[in-house]
C-alpha cells in the first residue's frame, strides 16, 4: 500500500498541475491499466473523477476566500468561468455565488489513504491457470453494473434467450471453464454502480462460431480462478471485491485486460450454489 499512498501524495503535491496517470502508476509500482482498474475497485470511483473532485475541493476553498471565479477556473485547468461553474454546481448543487452565502451546504472529497486490512478469517480458494487461447461463443448485451442485489437488466436479457439457442450454444462448449458462462467484458473504466459493461451468456470453445452467435477471441495467458459457495447472488458479487481488496494486494500479479468469466452451479432452491470466477492476470515485474 505504500506505493499507492505515494501516488496519492503525488496528486496532492500540486492540485493545479497537470497529472499524468502513468506517473501515478509508476509510483504505485504497477502498470497504468492495472492502476486504473484497481483504483476504481478499491476507491469506488475512477482516478480521473477522484482528481477532479480533489481539485474542486481545493478550488472551493479559494472561492470561499473571495477569489474571483475566473482566476480560480484558470488556476485549476478550466477553460472558462462557465465550465468551472458547471463542474462546481455538479459537485455542490450550488453555483460559486450561492456557495458564499451563509449557511450554504457544500461537499468535499477527502484525501484517500490506502491501508492493508488484516483479518485472517477469510480463506480465499483459488488456483492459477496457464490457459491456451480459446473463443467465447454466445450472445451479449450492454447492461449497467450492479454491485449488490439482482441486476434486472441481466435478468431480462436471460429471460429473453431462446432455449433452443442455448442448447445449440452448449454443444459448442469444449474448453474450460465448462458449461454455460456469465461473462463481463468491455467495462467502463470507473467500475462504479451504473457504469456499463458487455454481459455475455456464452461458452468457452475452440470451435468456430456459427451464424447468429457473437464471438470473442481470447488469447493464451494466465488466469486466477476463485471458488466460492453460499447465498446467491451476494456470494458471487463479493468475489470481485475480495479479489481487488484482498487477493491482488497480497500476490505478485496484476489484473490484465480481458473478459471475466463466472461459472455457476445453482441449488434447486435457487438461493444457494457454487461459483468459479476467472480473472485474467499477468505477473508483476519484481523490483
Range 224-253 average pLDDT: 76
Phi and psi angles of residue 174, each rounded to the nearest 5 degrees, phi first: -145, 20
Instruction: Give yes or no for residue 277 having a pLDDT over 60.
Output: yes
Write the burial class of residue 122 (CB in 10 Å: 0-12 exposed, 13-18 middle, 19+ buried). Answer: exposed
Residue 114, CB-side half-sphere exposure with 13 Å CA sphere: 21
Range 116-135 average pLDDT: 70
At residue 45 the predicted structure's pLDDT band, cuts being 50, 70 and 90, is confident
User: Who has greater pLDDT, 273 or 11?
Assistant: 11
Structure confidence by residue, pLDDT tens digits, 241-260: 777 767 787 677 888 889 99
Q: Residue 267: its pLDDT value, please?
A: 76
pTM: 0.63
Phi and psi angles of residue 86, each rounded to the nearest 5 degrees, phi first: -65, -45
Helix (H) or strand (E) holding 144: strand 134-144
Q: Residue 115: its pLDDT value, please?
A: 67
Residue in 44, 45, 5, 11 with CA at minimum distance from that of residue 28: 5
Range 265-275 average pLDDT: 77
Find where cell 439457442 sits: 165
User: Who has greater pLDDT, 118 or 174?
Assistant: 174
Structure confidence by residue, pLDDT tens digits, 84-121: 999 999 999 999 999 888 878 888 888 888 765 544 44
Other beta carbons within 10 angstroms of residue 244's beta carbon come to 19
Amino acid at each position: 500500500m505504500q506505493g499507492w499512498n505515494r501516488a496519492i501524495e503525488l496528486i496532492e503535491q500540486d492540485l493545479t498541475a497537470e497529472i499524468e496517470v502513468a506517473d501515478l502508476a509508476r509510483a504505485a509500482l504497477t502498470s497504468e491499466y492495472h492502476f486504473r482498474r484497481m483504483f476504481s475497485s478499491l476507491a469506488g470511483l475512477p482516478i480521473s473523477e477522484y482528481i477532479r473532485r480533489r481539485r474542486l475541493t481545493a478550488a472551493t476553498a479559494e472561492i470561499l476566500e473571495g477569489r474571483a471565479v475566473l482566476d480560480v477556473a484558470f488556476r485549476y485547468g478550466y477553460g472558462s468561468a462557465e465550465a468551472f461553474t458547471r463542474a462546481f454546481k455538479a459537485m455542490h448543487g450550488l453555483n460559486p455565488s450561492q456557495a458564499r452565502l451563509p449557511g450554504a451546504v457544500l461537499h468535499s472529497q477527502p484525501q484517500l489513504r490506502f491501508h492493508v486490512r488484516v483479518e485472517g478469517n477469510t480463506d480465499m480458494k483459488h488456483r492459477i491457470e496457464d490457459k491456451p487461447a480459446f473463443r467465447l461463443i454466445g450472445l451479449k448485451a450492454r447492461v449497467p453494473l450492479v454491485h449488490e442485489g439482482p441486476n434486472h437488466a441481466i435478468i431480462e436479457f436471460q429471460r429473453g434467450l431462446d432455449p433452443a439457442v442455448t442448447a445449440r450454444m452448449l454443444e459448442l462448449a469444449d474448453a474450460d471453464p465448462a458449461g454455460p458462462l456469465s461473462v463481463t467484458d468491455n467495462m467502463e473504466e470507473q467500475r462504479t454502480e451504473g457504469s456499463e459493461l458487455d454481459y455475455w451468456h456464452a461458452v468457452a470453445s475452440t470451435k468456430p462460431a456459427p451464424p447468429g452467435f457473437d464471438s470473442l477471441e481470447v488469447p493464451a495467458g494466465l488466469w486466477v480462478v476463485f471458488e466460492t459457495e453460499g447465498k446467491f447472488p451476494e456470494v458471487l458479487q463479493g468475489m470481485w471485491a475480495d479479489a481487488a481488496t484482498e487477493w491482488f494486494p497480497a500476490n505478485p500479479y496484476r489484473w490484465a485486460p480481458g473478459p471475466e468469466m463466472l461459472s455457476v452451479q445453482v441449488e434447486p432452491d435457487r438461493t444457494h450454489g457454487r461459483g468459479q470466477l476467472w480473472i485474467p492476470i499477468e505477473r508483476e515485474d519484481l523490483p
